[in-house]
Amino acid sequence: MKITELQEIYFRFLNLFKAIEELPGFPMLDGIEKALLDELSLSWKKGHNLLVSQAINLPEIGSPATLHSRLKNLHKMGMIEYAVDTDARKKYIQPTDKALKYFGQISDCMNQAIALKTGN
């Protein structure tokens, strides 16, 4: 099998990411928590904070009960926080500094994977 340059970069990224996942203090997320955090981050990048009710209605990730449970986990881990709207029944999900650091570490892995190929 011939591996392309982009595939090689991706494999290096996976190895680097796996290594940082094993570091003490790095958030241990299960697959659903990662997928949920990814979905939230895409929304945050667009300048939108999802409501809890919107986040638990993402059937491609899991059932509402599962997603509600994972939101609780992410909150306990300090990855997300809730902001109450003027209507106290609505809670928006926002990233914490810990979540931003998590994304920064992943970004560093991507940059390192690319730099290894280009020699930077």
Task: Name residues whose C-beta falls within 8 Å of residue 61's C-beta, 6 or more positions apart in sequence.
Answer: 32, 35, 36, 39, 67
- Residue 95 pairs in a beta bridge with 80
For residues 40 and 85, the model is more confident at 40
* 93-119 residue pLDDT tens: 999 999 999 999 999 999 999 997 655
pLDDT band at 3 (very low <50, low <70, confident <90, very high): confident
Residue 62 confidence (pLDDT)? 95
Distance CA 84, CA 80 (A): 13
Say what the pTM is.
0.86
Return the amino acid letter for 67.
Answer: L
> Which has the closest alpha carbon to 52: 88, 4, 25?
88
Q: Count other Cβ atoms within 10 Å, centred on residue 106.
A: 16
Q: What is the mean pLDDT of residues 40-46?
A: 96
Give the tokens for residue 11.
């494999």
All structural domains of the chain with their residue ranges: 5-118
Answer whether CATH 1.10.150.120 is correct for domain 5-118: no
pLDDT band at 38 (very low <50, low <70, confident <90, very high): very high
Distance CA 93, CA 82 (A): 5
> Would you say 109 and 13 are in contact if contact means Cβ atoms under 8 Å apart?
yes
